[in-house]
Amino acid sequence: MKLFGTMATNETNQLEVGGCNVFQLAEKFDTPLYVVDVQHVRDNCTLFSQAFKKPGIDTEVIYASKAFLNMAMCRLIQDAGLSLDVVSGGELFTAIKAGFPADRIYMHGNNKTTEELLMALDYGIKRIVVDNEHELELLSYLCDQLGKSIDILLRVNPGIEAIHMSIFKLLKTIQNLGSLFTMKPSVI
């Protein structure tokens, strides 16, 4: 078995994570049990942050909360200086309850409800990633009704698919990308 981060086997050949014996953790907390190697997470956050730092280029590393999220992970990601990508109202609620700065939260997801968009606007998150014309129109309407504004990113799927690892095939070329260009100017 490959060991990562602080994982090690002790003198009795039992697995330890962060110096904690996983068998003792299972006895104390029962199973199933999530054990997070905090130091390994911190090290990876630093690795990613440093890898993308370039002079003259403003970069931001964003943790995808769908990988794993609870309040402790929110605090860990916040302390590491990363931003947070949430895809549901539950993830947004968890982040806010953990004290994660709203101005470092991005809301993603291809099926956001009106309630989730209202939550995002109410909490004052940094950006919403808009996936389609309906969502853009709804968000515009909600912002008008509430007298608020928000930065958005437009998610565009140009229909490019990797085939045989090195050849790209263009699928429905204009159909996906073109929908943005056929939107009413007032929507965009």
Per-residue pLDDT of 116-131, as tens digits, reads 999 999 999 989 999 8
62 & 148 share domain: yes
Query: Is the pLDDT reported for residue 71 higher than 90?
Result: yes
Residues 6+ apart with CB under 8 A from 119: 89, 92, 93
The pTM (predicted TM-score) of the whole model is: 0.80
Can you give the pLDDT at residue 157? Answer: 73
184 & 145 share domain: no
Burial call 161-180: b when 16+ CB within 10 Å, e when fewer: eeeeeeeeeeeeeeeeeeeb
142 & 109 share domain: yes
Query: Is the pLDDT reported for residue 183 higher than 60?
Result: no
Name the nearest CA neighbour of 119 among 110, 131, 129, 107.
107
Reported as a single tens digit per residue, the pLDDT across 142-171 is 999 999 999 999 887 766 666 654 444 444
Can you give the pLDDT at residue 174? Answer: 41
Which residue segment(s) compose the domain that 31 sits in? 1-35
Instruction: Name the average pLDDT for the chain.
Output: 87
78 & 140 share domain: yes
